[in-house]
Amino acid sequence: MTKALAEFRLPIRIYVEDTDAGGIVFYANYLKFMERARTELMRSLGFDKPALFDDIQFVVSQVSLKYHSPAMLDDQISVTAVLSKAGRVTFEMTQQVFRGDELLVEGWVKVACINSTSKRPQGMPKPMFHALTESFN
């Protein structure tokens, strides 16, 4: 798979704890918002414990972000997750953060599946792989 045909979208409200003293979202919190969107995507596919299944874990192996405009205290934002590439051991997602139609942040994340004991790469379970890839076709 090389191009995704669907997107997952998660609404998030910006609270005081997400911001700096000026009411602007702290830059690292966008990574947390993106993590939540990926986690809720997996939950929407029927996997209630997205970080740990049958002795596996998902870890971020690469990430890249571009900031366009800040979110502010009490903003309602939405965070998207779109599968752009999938293999049994790794998958890549493009993610965006919007306030209404305004693009605030865009990013790319590569996630690897590892064995929870050895911490070595391991293929994700076939049902999970199929659910993930089929949700974007």
Q: Which residues are catalytic?
A: 20
DSSP string, 31-99: HHHHHHHHHHHHHHTT-S-TTEETTEEEEEEEEEEEE-S--BTT-EEEEEEEEEEE-SSEEEEEEEEEE
d(CA 27, CA 8) in angstroms, rounded, equals: 22
> What is the total residue count of the chain?
137
Q: Is 20 helix (H, G, I), strand (E, B) or coil?
A: coil
Q: Distance between alpha carbon 124 and the CA centroid of its chain, in Å?
A: 17
